[in-house]
Structure formats: structure tokens, C-alpha cells
A and B are shown apart, each in its own frame.
Chain A
Amino acid sequence: GAVVSQHPSWVICKSGTSVKIECRSLDFQATTMFWYRQFPKQSLMLMATSNEGSKATYEQGVEKDKFLINHASLTLSTLTVTSAHPEDSSFYICSARAGFLYNSPLHFGNGTRLTVT
């Protein structure tokens, strides 16, 4: 089945530093990937849509300069949290659509737990 891999699975960083999270589609190509954020005991919140070869589309209220997204190839999208602060501590999850039909299901990575100290 379709596999989406995220790395790292967890990371601890100091306030003010930047952290990069990778999302890879292992056995399929993904022109579009999605980045979500999840706070404890809450549902997933869509942050942005990552498009291969073009700029990402951000959801309302998400700072594009803080959450930099790069989708350089058909199998890799990266999310960089710049100048991280404790309030950025969260569970970040990526997903990608496996298949060319618009109703093809999205598959998710196992998430990255970010803790900013």
C-alpha cells in the first residue's frame, strides 16, 4: 500500500532556532502534499498545501514566512519551522494523495512531535 514517511519522528529544539521536517512518498509520486498540525486533544488542522514545482498554498491564519514549505520533487516535501517558539510545539503531520483520480485517498505520515524549549 501507499506509504508516506516523515522524518524525524520527534525533535526538541531551542527557542529561536529553525527545524526542518521531511515528508516522503516512498512508493508513489505525489504532485501535492498536505501539512497538518495537531495540538493535544484536538483534531488535525490543515496548515498548507504543498505543490511540486510551485509555491505552497497556506490556510488562513498560517504564517507563510514562519512555516516554509518546499516541494522540490515528486516524492519529497519539507516543512521548516523558522525561529521556533514554545507555542510552535505541536504534532506535525504530512499527507499525500496516492493515485491520479481526485477521489483517491490521502495517506498520512506518522507525524513529527516538535518540542520547543
Chain B
Amino acid sequence: DAKTTQPTSMDCAEGRAANLPCNHSTISGNEYVYWYRQIHSQGPQYIIHGLKNNETNEMASLIITEDRKSSTLILPHATLRDTAVYYCIVRGNMEYGNKLVFGAGTILRVKS
């Protein structure tokens, strides 16, 4: 599975959009980009995933660059409850058994 690089931490003002970047320059053609978040002392929560097209759901939008080497998770109107560690993960090889391997993630702090 391709490795990902994320900033260690970011701050965002409440009500503003939070844009979380992720680099995955070694991604291969069949690998998807997944985003999860983990609020303190809870299990990770699935947010969104995509292959090459931009995706949007009720939680967030995922923007993937045309060369697929990077992506951005957008929380359109961040609230204090969005404070969490956000993980960008690349997965796709069926022989890898569908495992999700977590990196260090980005600590997002939403401030009032």
C-alpha cells in the first residue's frame, strides 16, 4: 500500500472550512484514498473515500488531484466537535487483504 504524508497538526476557526491535505505520491492505479477520523478515546470513524473523482457526502468533500498524487479533505463548516485526529489512508491491493494501515494522521483543532 502506498504511504501517505500529512501535516502533524492544523488549527481551524469554528464555522470556517477545514482543508486537510494528504500526499500519496506513490499511489498506484487501483488504490483508493480513504479518510477516517478519531475523536479522543473512541474508535475511528469513516468519513469518505475515492479513487480519482472528487467525492462529497454529508460529512465532507474529497478532492483528488488529476495525477492522484495528493488529495484534500474538506470539512465545509468546521465545528468544535470536528476536533480529532484525521487519517488519510491509501488501500487497494486485494492481495493485501483489505487491511487499513494507519499513519500518524493530522491533529485538527477547531477553535472558537
Residues on A lying within 8 angstroms of B by beta carbon are 4, 6, 32, 34, 36, 43-46, 49, 57, 91, 93, 95, 97, 102-103, 105-111, 113
Whether A103 and B49, one on each chain, are in contact in the complex, defined by CB atoms closer than 8 angstroms, is yes
Contacting residues, chain A, for B103 (C-beta < 8 A): 43
Contacts of B101 in A (CB 8 A): 46
Q: Cβ of B42 and Cβ of A102 under 8 Å apart? A: no
In the bound complex, do residue B41 and residue A111 qualify as a contact, i.e. CB atoms below 8 Å apart? yes
Q: Beyond A103-B32, A103-B51, A103-B92, is A93–B99 a contact (Cβ under 8 Å)?
A: no
Main SS of the interface on chain A? strand
Q: Pick the residue among A91, A102, A106 that contacts B100 (CB under 8 A).
A: A106
Residues of the A chain whose Cβ atoms lie less than 8 Å from the Cβ of B94: 102
Residues of B within 8 A of A91 (CB): 41
Expressed in whole angstroms, the Cα–Cα distance for A32 and B49 within the complex equals 20
B99–A108 contact, CB under 8 A?
Answer: no
The residue from B42, B92, B98 contacting A106, defined by CB atoms under 8 A apart: B98
New contact pairs (16) apart from A43-B87, A95-B44, CB-CB < 8 Å: A34-B100, A43-B104, A46-B100, A49-B97, A57-B97, A93-B43, A93-B44, A97-B98, A102-B98, A103-B32, A103-B49, A103-B51, A105-B34, A105-B49, A108-B45, A110-B43
Residues of B within 8 A of A106 (CB): 46, 98, 100
Q: In the complex, what's the smallest C-beta–C-beta distance from B70 to chain A, in angstroms?
A: 19
Q: CB-CB < 8 A to A111: which residues of B?
A: 41-43
- Which residue in chain B gives the minimum CB-CB distance to A34? B99
Residues of A within 8 A of B41 (CB): 91, 111, 113
Query: Given A43-B103, A43-B105, A103-B92, do A108 and B97 touch, yes or no (CB 8 Å)?
Result: no
Q: Once bound together, how far apart are the Cα atoms of A88 and B43, in whole Å? A: 18
Chain A residues, Cβ within 8 Å of B49? 103, 105
| A108 in contact with B51 (CB, 8 Å) | no
A93 to chain B, nearest CB (A): 5
